[in-house]
Every structure is written in structure tokens, then in C-alpha cells.
Structure 1
Amino acid sequence: MKLVFMGTPDFSVPTLEKLIESKHEIALVVTQPDRPKGRSGKPAFSPVKECAIAHNIKVSQPERIRGNEEFINELREINPDAIIVIAFGQILPKEVIEMPKYGCINIHASILPKYRGAAPIQWAVIDGLKETGVTIMAMDEGLDTGDILEVGKLELDKEETGGSLFDKLSFMGGPLLLETLDKFEAGTIERVKQNDEESTYAKKLSKQTGEIDFNMSAVEIERLVRGLNPWPSAYTHMNGKMLKIWKSEVVESIDDINGFVKKEGFNNEPSEVAGKTKNALYVKCKDNYLAIYELQLEGKKRMDTTSFLLGYNLEDIPNKLS
């Protein structure tokens, strides 16, 4: 097939690489315009653009597709059999969706109709799902509402983070897409309508998403820590400074912890620092405790709690984190 590929971030790259290795022709790669990055503020290529250039594939970077007749005419001249879309970052107009012979095919990182929307990977961890996956979908004008073409499933690890799940799912899309394209060519593709009544929405993440409320259960907070690792991260505050929490564990009781030192004045209320061991700091939640093993105080490097406690006596740590 002659294909146009639309994608932007790291998540899109493994699928693009699989297509490059395949029998299919990639006539054009479309990605977001170069954006300022880092302290220098210099425009940087998207990961997809870097991959395309490395393989001498033509790249287009329209600021907007909707209403962009010059770009839409470029697509018409290419006359692709299919347009592949994965984490592109723009909504496609109807005339583009309906242009290719086999339509626009989207790779979405959830088992649709569950977790439509912008952040299905992180919310799968935050919500404690046992299973998620990748859906190959025929795009329509709705938000992740098109017919399901293929589904790949994956069981989440007990210590799964947003980052580790991101990596696993990014490598699932390519092989599943190639199977889908083969079925299109053979005329054996099957379409399954989504049941909107079963749909859920994975809302966009912001830095505020990571602010910890210790009135939540320890289980919910521990999942939040994993789901928002590496971005935007879960955090609280200590002495007015942001304290990011990178690794934690749920502890039901502090009574029998070997080497536990209880903090003076602890009243067993949410957000209170209960005490410490050599390698962990313990904070009371709505129920149970959160043992913090890896953290990062504002202005400092990420470190394990053992290293952190070398610089802080228990009495130096405030009674409450907030």
C-alpha cells in the first residue's frame, strides 16, 4: 500500500519504524511543527520527524490541517491507500478522513471503547486496571469513536508505571497494524461498532493532576505515583517546597516494621509523617500508610530515601506534608 503516516511523539516512532521495514510505501510523514525546547528555546524536531529524516522520507508540518487547502491538495496528489494516525496531535477534517481507499486508521493505547481521550496509558495505571492494550480503529469524526478493527491486550505488572506501560504499548501497535493492513488487502477485515454506553474517558493530564491528597486511600496514592511517573509526577510539599514522590508502597501497619522510628507528636491523621526507617519515610493516608522509597525535593536531584535521610533528621521534617 501507499501510505501517509501522521504522528508526533516517541510513542509513534516504533510503529513508523515497523512500517518502514515492511513492504508498504510511506509517501509522506506528517508531524507537528518544530517547537521550542529546553532552556535555549531553540526549535526541536519531533521524534517522528527525526525518524523520517533518518530514512529519507518526505516530511510535512502543517500548523493546521483543517481549512489548509494547500496541504489537503498535497494529500490528494499522493492519493494514499490509507492514512495511519498515531498520537498526531490534530483533529482531522472529514474530507481527509474519507480521502483514502481504506480510510484513516488510528492506533489508540486502550481497549476501546474504554479510555477514549488523551491519556489512556497513565489513567490505566492510576485506576488500577489489570489489563489494557492497543486498539486499531477506523477513524470517524468523533473522539476515538470509530469501528474497531483489531485489538491487542496486555496484563499490567504490579509495579507498572506510566513510563513502562508507555514503552510496552508503543511496540504493540506496529505488528498489529501490519496484520490489519494485510486483512484490508485480502478483503477479510472485520469492523466492530463501538458501544458508546460502555465508553469511558481518559482526560488530559496536567501538573495539577499529580498533587497528592492524603485523604485518599494509600492504594489510590500509590497508583497515582506510578501512573504519573515520569510525567507530570505525583507531588506534595515539605516546608513550602515541592516534594515529588517517585516510588512508594502501601503499608497497612507501622507497629511491626523492623527499625521503625516513630515521629514525636504523631496523631495518626492524614498527611502526617508517622516516622521513618533507614530506607523509607512513612506518611498516614485516609487508611493505611504510604512508604516513600524514592523522592525529589524542589531544587534537588531525584534520590532514594536512604540518601535523603542522610541530610534530614526526623525532627527536621515537618509533622505534615501538604
Structure 2
Amino acid sequence: MKIVFMGTPEFAVPCLDILDKNFEVQAVFTQPDRPKGRGKKMAMSAVKERALESQIPVYQPEKIKKSEDIQVLKDLSPDVIVVVAYGQLLSQEILDIPKFGCINVHASLLPRLRGAAPLNFAIVNGEKVSGVTTQYMVRKLDEGDMIDKIEVEITEDMTAGELHDILSLKGGDLIMKTVSDIEAGHIHRTPQDHELSTYAPKMDKEMAVINWSKPAQEIHNLIRGFNPWPIATTKYLGGKVKVFKSSVLDEEASSPGKIIRVSSDGLVVDCLDKRLLIKEIQMPNKKRMTVAAYILGNSFEIGTRLGE
């Protein structure tokens, strides 16, 4: 089974690894090197790093639409193209190249949460189950026929980073099974019920600003869902505070955003219905730390409202 792999971030690496060990990965397509970090040094993608380690030819078109890039794919004549968080849309001409089609590994249980940030919004939306789905790619975003799924439980305190790592490994397991089934001729296609679809948009920092007039559980979900990026934020005495960890308390609230008390357990803040315990923060010009560590040399003004 000849495979061309298209992917970019760390999430896609386990899929590349397992395919490279069990099939013939002819080439890897990934995003061009980008400036990264404070120094803005050019950095290669996680998928490129792994491909080079495995001595797999790497292609990095800025836009995979040029005739020379399409010709490379035609010359390779892959049996299947596997796409995992590549970051570019494929034309119908490319979708038609591989013998068995283009297969995408998507980090949700389709048709729920199509789009750019499915695992984040599974947590933000308070869902109890997530997973990965393999699907045949079509021109419309994440609307292709489904092939197979693996479900994963979302626990009460799980962050998007933790779910990312679990789904990344499950994606590797699933694409191995899917490609093996294709090779054996045992593949099954299930059309998506588009009426059940939901959407997970691309994240930005504005989405991560905490609205204390929301229920405590919603805020807790937002904090988990945007950890490790873009990180939930709020204001305290005019400065921006990053919030990394929290839990919902079984205490009635009456004044959203108001700091009720602080201790080594954390910072207790009123929300719309219940109170939220903030456990880990990053104050302006400080390192990330627990509230317990922060109050050893600093204090919070009880009665002050966060977000103002």
C-alpha cells in the first residue's frame, strides 16, 4: 500500500509513525517552515522533523494548488493520501489522484464538531465523550462519508492538551485499522447526517476572555478547553490574568466576578449560579504558578471583581 501523508502539527505524528512502520510512505507534504517563539527563528513542523528522521521525502508548498505540486502527486501515484491536520484544502484534482481516495483523521465524532478546533470545543461545550473519526475527503469541509471511529471519555477536569495527547495516539490506531481495512477490501462507508452536524471554529484570544456572568460549569469548561492555548484570561485591577486550572464548588453565588475568599486551595470567585475555585494562574509579569504559591508573597483584594 503506497501512501502520501499530509500533516503538520504534533497531533499528526503518531499517524505518520504507524503508517511508516507498516506501509510504504512515499512522501510527506507539510506546511512551510514558519517563524516561531520570541526570537522568530524559522522552525519546521513536527511532521517534517519526524519525516526527516525517517528519511521520507518532504514537500512544503505554500499552497498545494500549483501544477508542479499536483504533478508530483500524480507521478507518485499513491494508493491513498492520508491527511491529518495538514492545514490546507485539497482541490478535487488532488482528491481524485489516489486509487482508494483521500482519507482524513478528524479529532471528533463526526458529524459533530466539524472544523478547525474540534477537541477544544468538545470540552468548551461540556461534552462527555470525544474521539477520532476517519472519513473520505470531499470538497466540503469534513462532510465526507465516515469510515470508522474510536470514542474517548472526557473527564471533569481534563484539559484540551490532555485530550489532544489521547486523541493523537488513538488517531494512529484508527488510521492503521482504516488503511488495513482498505487494503483488505473490508471498508465500509457511512454517510453523515448533516442535520446532526455542529461546528468548531478556529480559536482566538478573544474567545478565551472569561465572562463571569456565565454559569460556573461553563467557565470551568472554557478554562479547560482553551488550555494549553489560547488560555482563558480575566482582568484583575486592570491587569490581565491567565487562568489555567479550576473546579466548580457546590456553593451558591450572588455577585458574578466577585472575589469571595483566597486560601492555599485557591481563589474563590462568584459566577452566575455557583462559585469557581481558581487553582493555577499567571499574573502580569509573573510565571505560571498555583494560587497557593502566589499568595506566599502577594495578596488578592477580597470583594474586588474580576473582569473589570
1:19-70 deviations in Å (ceiling 9; x for gaps): 1111x1111000000001112212111000000000111000000012x000
Residue 276 of structure 1: how far off its partner (Å): 1.7
What does residue 192 of structure 2 align with?
A: 194
1:237-257 deviations in Å (ceiling 9; x for gaps): 112111111111111227xxx
Match of 1:272 among 252, 258, 270: 258
Q: Which range is displaced more, 180-189 or 57-66?
A: 180-189
Does 2:92 align with 1:94? Answer: yes
- Counterpart CA distance in 1 for 2:202 and 2:300 is 37
- Counterpart CA distance in 1 for 2:46 and 2:247 is 34
- Counterpart CA distance in 2 for 1:223 and 1:187 is 42
What does residue 149 of structure 1 align with?
A: 147
Match of 1:181 among 179, 182, 186: 179
- Counterpart CA distance in 2 for 1:313 and 1:48 is 44
Say whether the 8 Å CA contact 2:114–2:141 is kept in structure 1. yes
Say whether the 8 Å CA contact 2:254–2:273 is kept in structure 1. no
- Counterpart CA distance in 1 for 2:130 and 2:80 is 26
1:106-185 equivalent positions in 2, closer than 5 A: 106-185=104-183
Residue 278 of structure 1: how far off its partner (Å): 2.8
Q: Secondary structure at the residue paired with 1:189?
A: coil
What does residue 296 of structure 1 align with?
A: 282
1:232-243 equivalent positions in 2, closer than 5 A: 232-243=230-241
Say whether the 8 Å CA contact 2:260–2:303 is kept in structure 1. no
Say whether the 8 Å CA contact 2:157–2:247 is kept in structure 1. no
Q: Which range is displaced more, 306-315 or 222-231?
A: 306-315
- Counterpart CA distance in 1 for 2:157 and 2:243 is 15
1:117-170 deviations in Å (ceiling 9; x for gaps): 000001111111111110000101010000101111111122110000000000
Residue 314 of structure 1: how far off its partner (Å): 4.0
1:178-209 deviations in Å (ceiling 9; x for gaps): 21112212222110001111111011110111
1:47-62 equivalent positions in 2, closer than 5 A: 47-62=46-61
- Counterpart CA distance in 2 for 1:28 and 1:247 is 41
What does residue 281 of structure 1 align with?
A: 267
Say whether the 8 Å CA contact 2:6–2:82 is kept in structure 1. yes
Does 2:301 align with 1:321? Answer: no
1:83-131 deviations in Å (ceiling 9; x for gaps): 0000000000000011100010000000100000000001111111111
Q: Secondary structure at the residue paired with 2:11?
A: helix
Q: Secondary structure at the residue paired with 2:251?
A: coil
What does residue 12 of structure 2 align with?
A: 12
TM-score by length of 1: 0.93
Q: Secondary structure at the residue paired with 2:212?
A: coil
Closer, same or farther: CA 3–308 of 1 in aligned 2, 3 Å: same
Q: Secondary structure at the residue paired with 1:171?
A: helix
Does 2:246 align with 1:245? Answer: no
Residue 282 of structure 1: how far off its partner (Å): 0.8
What does residue 258 of structure 1 align with?
A: none
> What 5-or-longer segments of structure 1 have no aligned partner?
255-266
> What 5-or-longer segments of structure 2 have no aligned partner?
none
What does residue 63 of structure 1 align with?
A: 62
Say whether the 8 Å CA contact 2:254–2:272 is kept in structure 1. no
Equivalenced residue count is 307
Q: Give, as a single letter, the amino acid of the residue that structure 2 aligns with 1:269.
A: S
Does 2:8 align with 1:2? Answer: no
- Counterpart CA distance in 2 for 1:278 and 1:145 is 48
Residue 318 of structure 1: how far off its partner (Å): 6.5
Say whether the 8 Å CA contact 1:3–1:27 is kept in structure 2. yes
- Counterpart CA distance in 1 for 2:189 and 2:164 is 26
TM-score by length of 2: 0.97
Runs of 4+ in 1 over 2 A off after TM superposition: 311-315
Cα RMSD of the aligned pairs, angstroms, is 1.3
Say whether the 8 Å CA contact 1:239–1:318 is kept in structure 2. no
Higher Cα Rg, which structure: 1
What does residue 257 of structure 1 align with?
A: none
Say whether the 8 Å CA contact 1:279–1:304 is kept in structure 2. no
Closer, same or farther: CA 61–314 of 1 in aligned 2, 3 Å: closer
- Counterpart CA distance in 2 for 1:246 and 1:191 is 40
- Counterpart CA distance in 2 for 1:137 and 1:85 is 10
1:227-284 deviations in Å (ceiling 9; x for gaps): 1111101110112111111111111227xxxxxxxxxxxx941111111223311111
Q: Give, as a single letter, the amino acid of the residue that structure 1 aligns with 2:47.
A: V
Say whether the 8 Å CA contact 1:30–1:60 is kept in structure 2. yes
